[in-house]
Amino acid sequence: MRWGRSLKPFRHPLLWSAVWMLAVALVVAGSLLPPADLPAQALGNDKVMHFLGYFVLMAGAVQLYARRASWVVMAVLLVFLGIGLEWLQAAMHVGRTADRMDALANTLGVLAGFTTGFMPSRDLLLRIDGGR
């Protein structure tokens, strides 16, 4: 069964889509939980964490989707997600604040992840999956 024209021809498309959606959910949860509920930042700089989180999400989208048009749509949606989560942090009043530099780091991470689509490794997940 083919799950959509945009996805690459994986043997297990539902599995890989679910893993990617879980990663998105973790970023959302990590962005909205009160600071006291989060583990101490093990890797240091907050902006680096924002960049890496959105880089992984966009690079994952490149691994999932075959068409560049889908990459563009996912990139735009991820940028809006990052901006929206910053807005929600300020609106929720749980000890989080909106930070434009966080939104910028998110956007730069998305752009960097997008560039992985132009590298030979863009089909790494397809090869791991043994897709058609």
Torsion of CA 8, 14, 16, 18, to 10 degrees: 140
Residue 113 placed within a domain: yes
Pull the structure tokens for residue 49: 């964490």
For residue 94, pLDDT over 90 is answered with no
| Section 52-76 average pLDDT | 97
List the one residue out of 85, 71, 73, 82 whose CA is nearest residue 108.
82
Q: Mind giving me the DSSP string for 10-42?
A: -SSHHHHHHHHHHHHHHHHHHHHS-GGGSPP-T
C-beta of residue 70 within 8 angstroms of C-beta of residue 6 = yes
Q: How many domains does the chain have?
A: 1
Least confident of 45-54, 57-66, 109-118: 45-54
Residue the block writes with tokens 């089909």: 123
Domain housing 93:
13-122
